[in-house]
Amino acid sequence: MECDPRRLTALIPSRTDPTDVPFVPPTLRLSLEQFRGIVAHCYDGLPNEACGVLAGPVEGAGEPTGDVTTIFPCTNTDASARTYTVDSRDLLRAMRDAESRGEELIGVWHSHTHTDAYPSDTDVRQAMEPNWIYAIVSLKQAEPILRAYRIRDGQTTEVDIDVADLA
Amino acid sequence: MAVEVKLPALLRGHADGASSVSADGATIGEVFADLTARHPGLAANLVGDDGNLHKFVNVYRNDDDIRYLEALDTKVADGDVISILPAVAGG
C-alpha cells in the first residue's frame, strides 16, 4: 500500500486517555516502512482478519523498549473475519529469528475489519503476554487506523505510537 | 534424555525468570513432569485438567508441533529443543 506520509498522521490518533494508567507502557516505535507493511498485510488478509508479530529489543525485566526491528506477517489460522490465531509455526520462526539477534517478540498486531481499533472482549480475554504490545489496525473506515495497547490482568492501557519520518 | 525447554515470557516467572531450562524425560509428558516437579507454578499452564496439553500453549519438538505427533507421548532424544509457545489469538 502506498500512502502519502503527510496524510498518515491522521491515521494514528494520539492516545485517547493518557491519565489514570495503572502502569507505564513503552511507546511503540515503527519505521514508515514497517507501518506500511503492517497495514498492507491487513489489506491483503481481507475479507478476514490478518495478524503478525513484532520483534525488538527488551530490557532486563523483559520489558520491550518499544523499538521494533522486524515485523513478521503471519497466517491467521482461523481464516475468519471475526477472530485470529497466529499460526504457531510462523510464531516459532519469528521467535527464533528474534532470539538469533538477542531480541524477543514484543507484540502482535491484527486487523479489525469492521470495528474500531480497540481491543474486543476476546482480545482482552486471550491476551497472554503482559509485556507485549497489542496493536490493532481498524479497516472500518476508508483510511486505516492503528492503535496499540498493553493488556494486563484484563486491564487495557493505550500505548503511544511513533512512526519515524512521519511529519 | 536431557533436553532444553524454551519458555515464553509469560511462563518465565514460574521458572525463576529463565527463558530456557534443561529437563529430563523420555517423552514430552515426562519432561513436563520433571519440569513441574522443580517449578510447580508451570504445571497449570502446561497441562489441562483433562491431562492433555493445555489449549493455550503450543509445544514444538525441534520443528514439529507435538499435536501432530503423539502429543504428550511424543518421544524426545538427547539434545532436542522443546519450545513452548503461547497461543496468540484474539478477535
DSSP H helices, chain A, are 5-8, 32-45, 88-100, 121-126
Q: Give the integer Cα–Cα distance in Å for A132 and A64.
A: 8
pLDDT in tens, B8-63: 988 998 999 898 999 999 999 999 999 999 999 998 889 888 888 988 899 999 99
Over range A76-103, report the average pLDDT: 96
CB contact under 8 A, A89 and B12: no
Who's near A166: CB < 8 A, 6+ residues apart? A5, A8, A9, A12, A32, A35
Which of B10, B63, B85 lies closest to A95 in CB terms?
A: B85
Ordered by start, the domain boundaries in chain A are 24-163
pLDDT of the residue at A28: 97
Omega into A47 within 30° of 0, i.e. cis? yes
User: Measured between beta carbons, which residues in chain A are less than 8 angstroms from residue B8?
Assistant: 128-129
Q: pLDDT confidence of A96, banded at 50, 70, 90? A: very high
User: Measured between beta carbons, which residues in chain A are less than 8 angstroms from residue B88?
Assistant: 51, 53, 85-86, 91, 108, 128
Q: Give the integer Cα–Cα distance in Å for A76 and A138.
A: 16
Which residues, numbered 38 to 67 in chain B, qualify as contacts with chain A under a Cβ-Cβ cut-off of 8 Å? 56, 58, 60, 63, 65
pLDDT of the residue at A77: 97
Beta bridge partners of A111: A137
Find the closest chain A residue to B60 by CA distance. A92
Ordered by start, the domain boundaries in chain B are 2-86
pLDDT in tens, A145-159: 999 999 998 999 999
pLDDT of the residue at B51: 87
Architecture of the domain whose range is A24-163: 3-Layer(aba) Sandwich (3.40)
In the predicted structure, residue A6 carries a pLDDT above the cut 50: no
Tracing cell 503450543 back to the chain, one arrives at: B58
CB contact under 8 A, B91 and A51: no
For residues A34 and A56, the answer to whether their CB atoms sit within 8 Å is no
- What fold is seen in the domain B2-86? Ubiquitin-like (UB roll) (3.10.20)
Size of chain A, expressed as the number of residues it contains: 167
Q: Give the integer Cα–Cα distance in Å for A82 and A113.
A: 8
Which pTM was predicted? Answer: 0.88
Cα–Cα separations (whole angstroms), residue B34 to A119, B28, B40? 37, 10, 10
Over range A55-60, report the average pLDDT: 92
First to last CA, chain A: 19
Neighbour count for residue A51 (Cβ, 10 Å):
30
Tracing cell 536431557 back to the chain, one arrives at: B2
The region of weakest confidence among A4-13, A103-112, B12-21, B58-67 is: A4-13
pLDDT of the residue at A124: 96
Strands (E) in chain B, as ranges, are 2-6, 20-24, 57-61, 64-65, 81-86, 89-90
pLDDT of the residue at A60: 76
In the predicted structure, residue A15 carries a pLDDT above the cut 90: no
pLDDT of the residue at A1: 46
Which of A95, A104, A120 lies closest to B90 in CB terms?
A: A120
Q: Give the integer Cα–Cα distance in Å for A139 and A114.
A: 6
Q: Please report the number of interchain residue pairs, chain A to chain B, with beta-carbon separation below 8 angstroms.
A: 62
